[in-house]
Amino acid sequence: MFKKLDILIIRSFIGPFIVTFFVMLFVLTMQFFWLYMDELIGKGFGVILILKMLVYMSTTLVPLALPLAVLLASIMTFGNMGENYELVAIKSSGVSLLRIMRPLFIVMIFISGLAFFVSNNLIPVASLKAYTLLYDLRNSKLSLSMREGQFNKEINGYAIRVGSKSKDGNLIKDIIIYDNSAGVGNDKLILAKEGEMISSADKRYLIFRLRDGWRYEEAINGKGGVNSYSQIRMHFKESDKVFDMSSFKVQKTDENTMKGGQAMMNVAQLNVNIDSVKKSIPRETERFGYELKNYWTIKSDDASNLKAKIKRSTADTYEGLFLDAVPDSLRRKVLEMAESQARSAKLYTDVTSKSIELFDNQLNGYLVEWHRKFSLSIACLLLYLIGAPLGAIIRKGGIGMPLIVAVIFFVAYFITSKTGESLSTTKKLPAFVGMWLSSLMLLPFAFVFIRAARNDSKMFNKEWYTRNIEKLIRFFKKKQIAP
């Protein structure tokens, strides 16, 4: 009986979970797409390139979609069972709520393990590829657009004007091309009555096949320190002007240049970096203490006698000043050297302080990312422990009330998660506390809802609230009528 019951519950959960997961993932991916739409649309990227970008980004958004899918699917599953009185029938046969939740809890352990695998192995790779590709797309040029009667300066070193062009954009007339590719101004000019635009087979070059035109060039000739200018004018019946269009293609950035980000590391890599930074901080502090001693010196032709004199002066009177023990002939020199040493010591202290602060920030960033890998897995378990009893209490299936309740709790989880992450990043809270803040705050709700569901609580029953409000109204009416 129990085996059939377990299979029934798991089947009831799998369908809503898969649907809600992909719906949430699609919504979050589209949110990213709309965020960067202005920077990606209109640059002539192929569909395959855009789809590749969306696949990479959708993988990085799994940590947001997965907990919400677990929460909503668990509420829907147990809500449907409550609405159809299946929970009542199962409980009446002596099966407790915890026993009913057990098969899906085992499934949640598997999903949590899968979530950790995705977070630890897939997301670092997808993040690296996604942000590298996004960088390339955002920094690529717009596709060349020739508008009639306007100068186009998108090709480096050239200003091109086309008077008119055919509907297919190939035939052009009244062409003006200013060439300043030499970097000395518009020293070359090409005028042509007509021509055509032709792309090379590999799309790397754009060829202007010009006809019936003139080419003007200015040259500077220097003789004997005196510059003389000359102009060359040449008529042509047909001439080709070739433009390099490689800058309009997406330039692939080496992924190794972006591998240093914490989000692009797995747990093993984070452990190595955490250990390295932890060793670097005391090493830097020890080196600072050793090097700082070099700035506390006394330099004099008779340093030993001067040290002895200073020692006697300070030991005998405890009121003797350092300068009182320095001979008048050396006093100015000592002051200048002391001031120079003090400045150098302060500069060295500031540099070391910044270096230690940088190490501390790196360590904090690694710890934040390390805890993030595990918090996703625990979030799936936690939201199931909230969603399952909530569904049993609500006793409503479908996507009406379950969706509203799921969104409320997910928003609470998301806000507390981002708040904790922000506090951890700014070091206002330790990384452990900040990254687990959302789980720690929602954990009591799981115990409260499980206890309420076991006792058949009616906290989400509209009739229970209506009945109690009517009782209160009748109570106050009696109090008003009584003398």
Write out the chain's pLDDT in tens, 483 residues. Answer: 457 888 888 888 888 899 888 888 888 888 777 766 665 655 556 677 777 777 888 888 888 888 888 988 888 888 888 888 888 788 888 888 888 888 889 999 999 888 888 888 888 888 787 777 776 665 554 445 667 878 877 777 788 888 888 776 678 888 888 887 776 666 788 888 888 888 777 667 778 888 888 888 876 665 544 556 677 888 888 888 887 766 555 455 555 555 657 777 888 888 888 888 888 888 888 887 777 777 666 554 445 555 555 555 444 444 445 666 667 777 777 777 778 878 888 888 888 888 888 888 888 888 988 988 888 888 889 889 988 888 888 877 666 677 777 788 888 888 888 888 888 888 888 888 888 888 888 888 888 888 888 877 666 566 666 776 777 777 777 766 655
Pairing type for strands 151-152 and 205-223 reads: unpaired
Position 225 in a domain: yes
pLDDT of residue 98: 85
Tokens of 479: 């109090």
Task: Give Rg (Cα) of the chain.
Answer: 37
Position 45 in a domain: no
pLDDT of residue 186: 67
Q: Cβ–Cβ contacts within 10 Å for residue 385, how many? A: 21
User: What is the DSSP-derived secondary structure letter of residue 143?
Assistant: P
Can you give the length of the chain in residues?
483
Position 162 in a domain: yes
Name 231's bridge partners: 218
Contacts of 457 by beta carbon, 8 Å cutoff, 6+ apart: 393
Compute, in degrees rounded to 10, the torsion defined by CA atoms 305, 306, 308, 314.
160
User: Is residue 33 within 8 Å of residue 53, measured between CB atoms?
Assistant: no
In angstroms, the CA 377 to CA 20 distance is 18
Q: Cβ–Cβ contacts within 10 Å for residue 171, how many? A: 13
Position 216 in a domain: yes
CA-based max dimension of the chain: 123
pLDDT of residue 143: 46
Q: In b/e form, how buried is each residue of 437-451, taking b as 16+ CB within 10 angstroms?
A: bbbebbeebbeebbe
Contacts of 233 by beta carbon, 8 Å cutoff, 6+ apart: 214, 215, 216
In angstroms, the CA 369 to CA 378 distance is 15
Angle in degrees, CA 214, 219, 225, rounded to 5 = 165
Position 217 in a domain: yes
pLDDT of residue 301: 47
Amino acid of residue 22: F
Specify the 3-state DSSP secondary structure of 87. helix
pLDDT of residue 1: 47
Domain housing 230:
151-248
Position 50 in a domain: no
pLDDT of residue 300: 47
Q: DSSP H helical segments within 321-400, as ranges? A: 328-394
pTM of the model: 0.64
Position 481 in a domain: no
Position 191 in a domain: yes
Q: DSSP H helical segments within 256-327, as ranges? A: 267-292, 303-317
Provide the number of structural domains found in the chain.
1
* Residue showing tokens 């009446």: 92
Amino acid of residue 318: Y
User: Is residue 271 within 8 Å of residue 240, measured between CB atoms?
Assistant: no
Q: Give the HSE-up count for residue 217: Cα atoms under 13 Å, Cβ half-sphere.
A: 9
